[in-house]
Amino acid sequence: MERFFLYDDVEDTKTRFVSFTGESQRYDLAILQSSRFFGKVLVMDIQYNRFAILGSDDLEEEGYLEHVYNRSEEEAAELRDYLQELLG
């Protein structure tokens, strides 16, 4: 069987590993910057094994972080605060 590749690219990226504690939870994140994401970043939640490509506009969507990262409203607010600083 022949494989049909849509793309197979290698790209240098910048990855930042961040660990911080909030009022209710510890957060361990890997943040990957690439030109592939059109100004957004890939944010990987290492503890919960979840990830999303995020920009500052995504942080404004009500309930988005809660859904994507399977976090409570309080936990998502702490994560949102950090990500707004990062992406702002």
pLDDT tens, position by position, 4-30: 999 999 999 999 999 999 998 899 999
**Stretch 18-47: mean pLDDT:** 94
**Stretch 45-58: mean pLDDT:** 96
Does residue 5 form part of some domain?
no
Does residue 70 form part of some domain?
yes
SS3 state of residue 7: coil
Which residue range is the domain that position 38 belongs to?
14-87
Does residue 72 form part of some domain?
yes
Cβ-proximal residues to 1 (8 Å cutoff; 6+ apart), any chain: none
Does residue 6 form part of some domain?
no
> Would you say residue 1 has pLDDT above 90?
no
Beta strands in 1-88 (DSSP E): 14-21, 26-33, 41-45, 50-54
Locus of tokens 């504690």: 21
Does residue 3 form part of some domain?
no
Tell me how many domains the chain contains.
1
Q: Backbone dihedral region of 63: left (phi > 0), alpha (psi from -120 to 50 degrees) or beta?
A: left
* pTM for the predicted model, two decimal places: 0.89
Q: Please tell me the distance from the alpha carbon of residue 53 to that of residue 43, in angstroms, as a whole number.
A: 6
Does residue 4 form part of some domain?
no
